[in-house]
Structure 1
Amino acid sequence: MRRSFSVLPVLAVFSAGSAWAAELDRAEMRTSTVPVPSWSVVGSVSPTFTDNALFSRDGRKSDAYYEPDVSVRLDGYLTNDLSYRLYARAQYEAFATEKDGNAAIARLGGRLTENWNGWRFSAIYENRYDFDGVYRDLAFISHDVMGSVARDFQVNNVTLSPLLLLTYRFSDLAEARRWRFDAVLGIEVKLDSKWSIVSAPLFEAYWFTGGLNSGREDQLYSADIGLKYNFASNLSLTTTVLYEARTSNVPLRHYRDLRIGPRLDFAF
């Protein structure tokens, strides 16, 4: 089972990449101009094929999974340059065959973002609930405290969106406590008003601080490329190929993974 109390194998779940961009969510890190507080529902649905359903170094198993990810948000401004967001978010992975890979997350969170000369500095808090199965058994509860800096650069038809994110996780499961650093470069090349080529190369580093994982250090690398079609300003479809690899000072935690699939993004 890829369960959270089997701490060494499972903390790779929901690590990053296109499948769980939730923890980074470059779109979330961008501040939209809203004159008064406003509610929205934002999410995605993505059927995906993977050649390593259980994030295993050995005994790799291919499968397809279904991944809905939905957030309800309240956005507003405290000053012209200081915005806030309150949100509730739910997401899960449901596998066609490898049911041991099923897992889910629920989050409640808040974010403050200061805009300064085009840069966005954010402080984020999340109360996170991790489940084995699709909201079946509660595995552990965490409190994530995060800080990030991001900016968008426009060069002709190319948008570059670098993001740096540092997180510390407090948890009732000692093995889940850790520092995490993320560096992401969002890339979008507009071909015309509807079509874009997109990519988000990613680096993550983990330093675990508790329980059986104390002293464990992981590094994760991913690269992807996708073709995006905008049906409207709030509805798009992106088909992506992503390669991910994790290294660790615990050799059993090494793995690689290839994922292919479409993702429908929406916002209302």
Structure 2
Amino acid sequence: MQKAAILLSALGLVGAGGAWASDLDLTEFKAASAPVPYYAAPSWSVVGSLSPTLTDNALFSRDNRRSDLYYEPDVSLRLDGNLTNDLSYRFYARTQYDAFATEKDGNAAVARLGARLTENWDGWRFSAIYENRYDFDGVYRDLAFISHDVMGSVARDFRVDNVTLSPLLLLTYRFSDLAEARRWRFDAVLGIEIMLAPKWSIVSTPLFEAFWFTDGLNTGRRDQIYSADVGLKYNFASNLSLTTTVLYEVRTSNVAVRRYRDLRIGPRLDFAF
């Protein structure tokens, strides 16, 4: 069962293909709240979220749908600095896992070490990112595979009255010691925030993801993920918020068994210190 779980995770049936399919940390691509002089000293921060979530498809299965509750902590330690007024860098370590109440086969964990270089140009943010990623079977139980993700992104924020739109385009190639995990990935994301009051807002992050697998048993496999959500966000402070979200996700694929749909609902506490 243990070896099967590792292989299923690599092939995108559980873990890496479900909960981790949409594991973008959008705070990685947000603009700083104020310009930072290039001579400012580098700064440390801890950023993350805690989210108990109810899902109606814990194993991300096409035919074996099982409802369950899972807990997902996601925490990053960051070092941020500037090389010039327009060129910034970030080094980070990030840990994230899913722990299911009943469906333990859905448990998965990821640890990352990464670096990002971002150029701000006329309101646009262009980033080059590298991540050394470790995927685990279960909650840090056994190492399933190691990957090296190379990414490029472009993002920008548009503000009109009480509405902020944050489009993001991201392209990734994954090198891995497991052939089935090697693939191209394209993400198109639109962050939406509508301020209702000083502390309240409606938020949504519709996204599209496309995967082109290149090696091993996954050679020729093509997946697409469509996700739509809506949430109500309350800001306790500028660095602490609570968002309750309903999300619907569909994965299509040219390999029929990889297809699934999933409905999730739950609160998420976001923090930054």
TM-score, scaled relative to structure 1:
0.96
Deviation at 1:59, TM superposition (A): 1.4
Aligned residue type for 2:7: F
Q: 2:88 aligns with which of 80, 83, 87?
A: 83
SS in 2 for 1:107: strand
> What are the within-5 Å matches in structure 2 for residues 56-205 of structure 1?
56-205=61-210
Aligned residue type for 1:212: L
Separation in 1, partners of 2:29, 2:184: 20
SS in 2 for 1:147: strand
Deviation at 1:27, TM superposition (A): 1.9
Q: Deviations over 1:2-39 (max 9, x none)?
A: 7232343234133444xx3xx3x222212324432100
Separation in 2, partners of 1:177, 1:258: 28
Separation in 2, partners of 1:100, 1:16: 17
Hey, what does 1:3 align to over in structure 2?
Answer: 5
Separation in 1, partners of 2:21, 2:237: 27
Aligned residue type for 1:94: A
SS in 1 for 2:28: coil
Aligned residue type for 2:82: Y
Separation in 1, partners of 2:264, 2:107: 16
Structure 1: stretches of 5+ with no match in the other structure: none
Runs of at least 4 residues off by over 6 Å? none
Q: Deviations over 1:32-80 (max 9, x none)?
A: 2443210000000000000000000001000000000000000000011
Separation in 2, partners of 1:196, 1:26: 17
The two structures, once aligned, show a CA RMSD in angstroms of: 1.1
Q: Deviations over 1:116-151 (max 9, x none)?
A: 000000000000000011000100000000000000
Aligned residue type for 1:142: S
Hey, what does 1:28 align to over in structure 2?
Answer: 28
Aligned residue type for 1:163: L
Aligned residue type for 2:131: E
Aligned residue type for 1:148: S
Q: Deviations over 1:188-225 (max 9, x none)?
A: 00001100000000000000000000000000000000
Q: 1:257 aligns with which of 238, 262, 268?
A: 262
Q: Which piece of structure 1 moves more, 26-35 or 246-255?
A: 26-35
Structure 2: stretches of 5+ with no match in the other structure: none
TM-score, scaled relative to structure 2:
0.94
Q: Deviations over 1:139-173 (max 9, x none)?
A: 00000000000000001000000000000000000
Aligned residue type for 1:98: E
Separation in 1, partners of 2:193, 2:41: 29
Separation in 1, partners of 2:6, 2:260: 18
SS in 2 for 1:4: helix
Q: 1:14 aligns with which of 9, 16, 19?
A: 19
Q: Deviations over 1:64-99 (max 9, x none)?
A: 000000000000000110000000000100000000
